[in-house]
Homo-oligomer: A and B are copies of this chain.
Amino acid sequence: MKNTSYHNFFMNFANKTKLDIILALKEKPLSVNEISEKINEEQSKVSHNLKALKTCHILDMERKGKKRIYSLNKETALAILNIVEKHVKKNCPFRCEKCKKK
């Protein structure tokens, strides 16, 4: 897969920082600094991760003065998250250790 859109697409959900960003934007669009504060991560780290998310169209961006406001592509993101939640509820009722480890 390496070098395909599938790989990049799923990496956006597999990485903690990226998923934190996605969850942070569920409620409403935010600027980079607002995201940074909300998820408690350094600005440049957030920016790098935003870029990947935006490249895959998981996020949209809109300039507003010197700020850049990022918003979630809910159609895709919420659909994906819903499936996982459903999957976990059905298949991992006890949150087994195996799942948590490796």
Once the chains bind, are A7 and B14 in contact (CB under 8 Å)? yes
Which residues of B have CB within 8 Å of A95? Answer: 5
In the complex, how many residues of chain A place their beta carbon closer than 8 angstroms to a beta carbon of chain B? 39
Dominant SS among interface residues on chain A:
helix
Q: Give the interface centre of A14, A19, A102 by most chain B CB atoms within 10 Å.
A: A14
Once the chains bind, are B87 and A3 in contact (CB under 8 Å)? no
Which residues of B have CB within 8 Å of A55? Answer: 98-99
| Interfacial residues, chain A to chain B (CB-CB below 8 A) | 1-11, 13-16, 19-20, 52, 55-57, 73, 75-76, 79-80, 83-84, 86-88, 91-92, 95, 98-102
Which residues of B have CB within 8 Å of A19? Answer: 1, 6
